[in-house]
A and B are shown apart, each in its own frame.
Chain A
Amino acid sequence: MTQPVTIIMIEDDEGHARLIERNIRRSGVNNEIVPFANGTDAMRHLFGADGSGLVQKGRALLILLDLNLPDMTGIDILRQIKENKHLRASPVVVLTTTDDSQEITRCYELGCNVYITKPVNYENFANAIRQLGLFFSVIQVPSAAT
């Protein structure tokens, strides 16, 4: 059963969000993008009012996650997503300005699927996002339902 993948973008910087969206669209991905500017709203959306994550059961999600959020760290969100049985199958792409190897390692340990550094060099950034778009079009997002 195929279902269009919804992209959840958790990014507090509006400019970054706009640039990411623009480049995703440029790479030809037309999936719905649901943006969140802070962690709390995103968590409510992902886990539902009861915090169980049941609301997302059976839906195909791809999560774009910034690590620097005003109200909580992206690492926490990543951990909770990967600990939730309804959400943990959803791919998580971490997008951040840090290229600290310790942080990258930590994210992969917590189960992040892709880690992208936002380089100041825009060409690189745009390329990374477009490749991500290609990646979206080829991955089979597991239909988390069972």
Chain B
Amino acid sequence: MLTVISAGSVYLVNKARSDNAWVVHTIEVENQVNALLLEIRRAESGARGYLLTREPEFLADHEAAAAAVLPALDQLSRLTADNPVHLDNVGKLKAAIGIRLDQFSREMDFVKQGKPERAVALVREDAAADTTATIRQIAQAMMGEEERLFTLRTANADRSQTLAASMTGIGSGLVVVLALISTGLVRRSARARDEAEARLRDANLNLEATVDSRTADLREANAEIQRFAYIVSHDLRSPLVNIMGFTSELEELGRDVFRRIGGLTHVPAGGPPVAANEADELPLEAPDKQLSRDFSEALGFIKSSIAKMDRLISAILNLTREGRREFEPVNIDTRELIAGIVETLAHQAAEAQAEIRIGELPDVVSDRLALEQIFSNLIDNAVKYLRVGVPGEIAVRGRTKLGYAIFEIRDNGRGIDPRDHQRIFDLFRRAGTQDKPGQGIGLAHVRALVRRLGGTMSVSSELNAGSTFTVTLPIKWNASNRNAEP
């Protein structure tokens, strides 16, 4: 906008200047016309003076004037070259002046030849022809034309100047207004920015406080769960000891009872009661034998269930204990660590005809024991769940990305149904054919460890197409991303 206004005012100023130039030009043309007429008059009066007096000064005067006429005419025609009206007039003027000059020269010739009467006659004739009047008329017409142009151009110039002045005025006004507006806008946006900054700062503080309190809550909840699991599993054990203990006592009692029954019912004729020292082969009658078997079977189920429950409780206890263990970050040569694990699994691997290859592995700073548990569980699983009759190929590889070390344990084993990919990480859950011993703890444990080490883990697998477990751990684990334990 300002550009348009300044361009406009520059244009207008230029126009005013050119209009002024035109006005000046008009005045020049008028001057020139006057000068031309003056010269012609001078020539005429010189000629007349010479005719009357024959004084050579008049002749010289006439000749100087006559000589000045043509250049003045040329000058005029140059000046008026732009105006078609003038062009026409200048043409006529030229012709008239030519005739007049011709007359002058003839007059002068007659005078010089000593025929003044002829010159006088000629003068008279000339006056009758009225060339001078014609010249004057044409000059007058030109002056009129110039007068008209002068008025026009003056008006033009005035208008241009007024326009330019008002344009400049408007422009200045606009500049002032715009400056005021922009100052206001800048001030307002600065204020808005300050407010936004203050709000952002507040929000940040709030956010940090919120995050802190949420984190504290989560840690609290996590610790609570850990304590809960620990206490529950611990306290569950106490009654279990009793159940198992008294079940065993009951077993003992039952044996005693059936031995006595045997002794009472199976009295050999006349003989002493049978010595009840052969514990398993009690001399019982068929129905009593059946009772004894049922009794033992019931107790057997109770005992095996107790044993299973004890294993589960122990597993939970171990997990919570792992959760409470403080991690200690040390530099770990991952390749060496994995090679050690592979060595301990060499026997199982040989039995399963599996080959374990160790590829490139990035070193990390982490907890050694946790890492050992993670990788030995995963590699052990890979060896354990191979396909029957297919030689195992297990590969351990690693790479780094953005501060994280990514490890892959790939096998060509039986694979895991995608539906079970989430389940296998749950405690006590297993997937696939249940033909190997296990509690369903390994992967739950591994995932808990990986999480505590600030990492993530995932599996990609298809049934009968092998599995790849991916463990992502921070290259440099330190106490700051450790779970705060109470």
**For residue B306, which residues in chain A have a CB less than 8 angstroms away from its CB?**
120
Contact A120 to B234, CB < 8 A, known contacts A15-B246, A19-B246, A100-B321: no
CB–CB B248/A16 < 8 A: no
Q: Is there a chain B Cβ closer than 8 Å to A123's Cβ?
A: yes
**Residues of B in contact, count (CB < 8 Å):** 19
CB–CB B234/A122 < 8 A: no
Interface residues of A in 36-54 (CB under 8 A from B): none
With CB as the reference atom, state the residue of chain B lying closest to A122.
Answer: B248
Q: Is there a chain A Cβ closer than 8 Å to B307's Cβ?
A: yes
Q: Is there a chain B Cβ closer than 8 Å to A83's Cβ?
A: no
Could you tell me the distance between the alpha carbons of A84 and B242 in the complex, rounded to whole angstroms? 33
**What secondary structure prevails in chain B residues at the interface with A?**
helix
**For residue A15, which residues in chain B have a CB less than 8 angstroms away from its CB?**
239, 241-242, 245-246
Q: Most chain-B CB neighbours within 10 Å: which of A98, A120, A123?
A: A120
Q: Is there a chain A Cβ closer than 8 Å to B237's Cβ?
A: yes
Q: Is there a chain A Cβ closer than 8 Å to B240's Cβ?
A: yes
CB–CB B245/A123 < 8 A: no
**For residue B317, which residues in chain A have a CB less than 8 angstroms away from its CB?**
100
Cβ of A17 to closest chain B Cβ, rounded Å: 10
Cβ of A27 to closest chain B Cβ, rounded Å: 15
With CB as the reference atom, state the residue of chain A lying closest to B251.
Answer: A122
**For residue A123, which residues in chain B have a CB less than 8 angstroms away from its CB?**
248
Q: Is there a chain A Cβ closer than 8 Å to B292's Cβ?
A: no
Cross-chain pair count, CB within 8 angstroms: 52
**For residue B274, which residues in chain A have a CB less than 8 angstroms away from its CB?**
none
**CB contact between A16 and one of B235, B242, B247, B310 (< 8 Å): that residue:** B242
With CB as the reference atom, state the residue of chain A lying closest to B325.
Answer: A102
CB–CB A97/B246 < 8 A: no
Contact A97 to B242, CB < 8 A, known contacts A120-B307, A121-B307: no
With CB as the reference atom, state the residue of chain A lying closest to B310.
Answer: A120
With CB as the reference atom, state the residue of chain A lying closest to B230.
Answer: A100
Q: Is there a chain A Cβ closer than 8 Å to B358's Cβ?
A: no
Contact A16 to B241, CB < 8 A, known contacts A120-B307, A122-B247: yes
Q: Is there a chain B Cβ closer than 8 Å to A90's Cβ?
A: no
Q: Is there a chain B Cβ closer than 8 Å to A136's Cβ?
A: no
Cβ of A40 to closest chain B Cβ, rounded Å: 20
Could you tell me the distance between the alpha carbons of A15 and B317 in the complex, rounded to whole angstroms? 23
Contact A97 to B237, CB < 8 A, known contacts A120-B306, A120-B307, A121-B307: yes
Cβ of A71 to closest chain B Cβ, rounded Å: 16
Q: Is there a chain A Cβ closer than 8 Å to B238's Cβ?
A: yes
What 1/0 mask marks residues of chain A from 97 to 139 whose CB sits below 8 Å from any chain B CB? 1101000000000000000001111110110000000000000
Cβ of B320 to closest chain A Cβ, rounded Å: 10
Q: Is there a chain B Cβ closer than 8 Å to A13's Cβ?
A: yes
CB–CB A120/B237 < 8 A: yes
Could you tell me the distance between the alpha carbons of A15 and B242 in the complex, rounded to whole angstroms? 6
Cβ of B484 to closest chain A Cβ, rounded Å: 19
Q: Is there a chain A Cβ closer than 8 Å to B244's Cβ?
A: yes
Cβ of B296 to closest chain A Cβ, rounded Å: 16
**Residues of A in contact, count (CB < 8 Å):** 17
With CB as the reference atom, state the residue of chain A lying closest to B240.
Answer: A120
**CB contact between B242 and one of A13, A98, A100, A126 (< 8 Å): that residue:** A13
What 1/0 mask marks residues of chain B from 221 to 258 whose CB sits below 8 Å from any chain A CB? 00000000000001101111110111111000000000
Could you tell me the distance between the alpha carbons of A19 and B249 in the complex, rounded to whole angstroms? 9
Could you tell me the distance between the alpha carbons of A120 and B247 in the complex, rounded to whole angstroms? 11
**For residue B241, which residues in chain A have a CB less than 8 angstroms away from its CB?**
13, 15-16, 19, 97, 118-120, 125
**For residue A118, which residues in chain B have a CB less than 8 angstroms away from its CB?**
237-238, 241
Could you tell me the distance between the alpha carbons of A40 and B238 in the complex, rounded to whole angstroms? 21
CB–CB A98/B245 < 8 A: no
**For residue B237, which residues in chain A have a CB less than 8 angstroms away from its CB?**
97, 118, 120
Could you tell me the distance between the alpha carbons of A16 and B239 in the complex, rounded to whole angstroms? 9
With CB as the reference atom, state the residue of chain B lying closest to A23.
Answer: B245
Given contacts A16-B238, A97-B241, list 12 more A-B pairs with CB under 8 A.
Answer: A13-B242, A15-B246, A16-B241, A19-B245, A19-B249, A120-B244, A121-B244, A122-B245, A122-B247, A122-B248, A123-B248, A125-B245
User: What are 16 A-B interface contacts by the 8 Å CB criterion?
Assistant: A15-B239, A15-B242, A15-B246, A16-B238, A16-B241, A16-B245, A19-B241, A68-B238, A97-B234, A97-B241, A100-B321, A118-B238, A120-B244, A120-B307, A121-B244, A125-B241
Residues on B close to A: CB < 8 A?
A: 234-235, 237-242, 244-249, 306-307, 310, 317, 321
Residues on A close to B: CB < 8 A?
A: 13, 15-16, 19, 22, 68, 97-98, 100, 118-123, 125-126
**8 closest A-B pairs (Cβ-Cβ)?**
A15-B242, A122-B248, A120-B310, A97-B237, A19-B245, A118-B241, A122-B244, A120-B244
